[in-house]
Amino acid sequence: YDLLAYAKEKDLQLLFVDTPQQKDEHQVSTANTIGKILAEEGVPYLNYCLTDDQANFSLIPELDRKTDFYNSGHVNYYGAEKFTAHLAKYLKENYNFEDHRQEAKVKEDWDGMYDRIKNTVEKFELDAAKKAAKAKGDAVDNTIAQIICNFLLFIPFSSLVY
């Protein structure tokens, strides 16, 4: 409650987000309690979690527990892309953020982060292409896997850049 009181005192807007993950019964109970407290306080709470008995994620129905998760607690690249797109849309529709992208320091940091993310995604896609080929029993050399990676990368990744 201290955080809520502090935010009210300073006239700060809060948004609590429970990122996509599969939760056990105890974790769901805790999340539900937090959600009730936040609702009583008028604080938005986005609960992207899934319980074992749910067929899909209510806020992002297209999120697939078999293809979009690295493990039960972490989304993979594809899940992160779906989650990020949904959260970005929510933020855009519900908050009025100032655009600082053209400010020198922000632009420098953004461009640097973009390059780091792009390199990480390229490595992920290359590894995924190799795993897919290996699963089929095919020998794939790095050049072909890299071409596949670059093709896949620029389709979904471009949607993250505003």
Tell me: the pLDDT tens digits for 13-46? 899 998 888 777 888 888 888 889 999 999 999 8
- Residue 115's CB is within 10 A of a number of other CB atoms, namely 10
Strand segments, DSSP code E, in 11-162 are 16-18, 22-23, 45-47, 50-51, 69-71, 74-75
Q: Which pLDDT score is estimated for 40?
A: 93
pLDDT at 151 over 70: no
pLDDT at 101 over 90: no
Q: Which pLDDT score is estimated for 127?
A: 78
Q: Which pLDDT score is estimated for 150?
A: 43
pLDDT at 100 over 80: yes
Q: Which pLDDT score is estimated for 112?
A: 77
- Residue 82's CB is within 10 A of a number of other CB atoms, namely 19
- Do 15 and 46 meet the contact criterion of CB atoms below 8 Å apart? yes
- pLDDT, tens digit (0-9, with 9 covering 90-100), for 46-88: 888 866 555 556 677 788 878 888 887 788 888 888 888 999 9
pLDDT at 124 over 90: no
The whole model's pTM is what?
0.63
Question: Mapping DSSP to helix (H, G, I), strand (E, B) and coil, where does residue 76 land?
Answer: coil
